Amino acid sequence: MNTPHTSTEQELRERIDPARVPVHIAVIMDGNGRWAENKGEHRVQGHVNGVQPIRETLTGATEIGIKYLTLYAFSTENWSRPKAEVDALMELLVNTLASEVSELHENGVRLNAIGDLDSLPVGCRGALKKAMDHTAGNMRITLTLALSYSARWDILRMVRGVANDIKEGRIGMHDIDEKAISARLSTSGIPHPELLVRTSGEHRISNFLLWEIAYAELWFTPVLWPDFRKEHLYQAVLDFQQRERRFGRTREQLQDPQ
């Protein structure tokens, strides 16, 4: 997990206030295909080169005390991509999990996954389960991979569960509140992200964590995911620390909370 420090990275890191880092950062890792195409390579090469920035982001996040990192790795909509690309992504996932699991464990990372995991190829599911079981006791940081995930898939699933519980008489209308809904989503038990990062210059959410990011700060960068490094993560955190999070209140109320 050790990568050489660049001076910008070091400088940025020193400017971060450790008492005010987000507890949870979510990342839409975008731009792998364009990165490869810019180099005249196949899109899959972009995905292969998207693994190193995952290592960097995880290490960087751990070093500044982030407790939860959630990465959008494969969306429900991504199943519509050419079969060869989907197959390559699934294979990359299995191989990466196998090669990284001991290091994740040594570094205190607990691996978690959200999404329609049953739709993943059996080998992927197996590798994922193995890695999650292996790292289940770790406490330093929780790395959640969103795989075959979309927020609408999750919300639909939650609504069906609520409807069924009402129908069966297990709960009543008054039991449905924000807390109950959060507890039924696949991100249950994970605090909602305070910061959402998206790379590649796109300014959209693409069906990621719609309920959970209701009050997240959004940070966009034109950097393509394979070029994303710790320094970019630190820029995002520094920008976050300069924002005034008002949650509907006025500035005066924040300064004098009565």
Q: Which of 2, 78, 154, 165 is catalytic?
A: 78
Alpha carbon of 68 to those of 88, 139, 163, 228, 244: distances in Å?
27, 10, 30, 19, 22
Residue 100 touches Mg ion, criterion: CB under 5 A: no
The pattern of x and - marking residues 22 through 41 that bind Mg ion according to CB under 5 A reads --------x-----------
The H or E element spanning position 149 is: strand 141-149
Residue 31 touches ligand IPE, criterion: CB under 6 A: yes
Residue 93 touches ligand IPE, criterion: CB under 6 A: no
Taking CB under 6 A as the criterion, the residue among 22, 44, 53, 74 binding ligand IPE is: 74
CB of 78 to ligand IPE, least distance (A): 5
Helix axis angle for 122-135 and 83-106, nearest 10°, is 20
Residue 158: alpha-carbon gap to chain centroid:
20
| Single-letter amino acid, residue 169 | G
Q: Which of 2, 17, 30, 239 is catalytic?
A: 30
Q: Is the CB of 89 or the CB of 109 nearer to ligand IPE?
A: 89
> Residue 155 is encoded by which pair of tokens?
């919300």
| Strand order from edge to edge, sheet including 217-220 | 109-114, 141-149, 68-75, 24-28, 195-198, 217-220
Residue 113 touches ligand IPE, criterion: CB under 6 A: no
CA dihedral 34, 53, 189, 131 (to 10 degrees): 110
Q: Which parts of 120-139 interact with ligand IPE (CB under 6 A)?
A: none
Residue 202 touches ligand IPE, criterion: CB under 6 A: yes
CB of 116 to Mg ion, least distance (A): 20
Q: Which residues are catalytic?
A: 30, 78
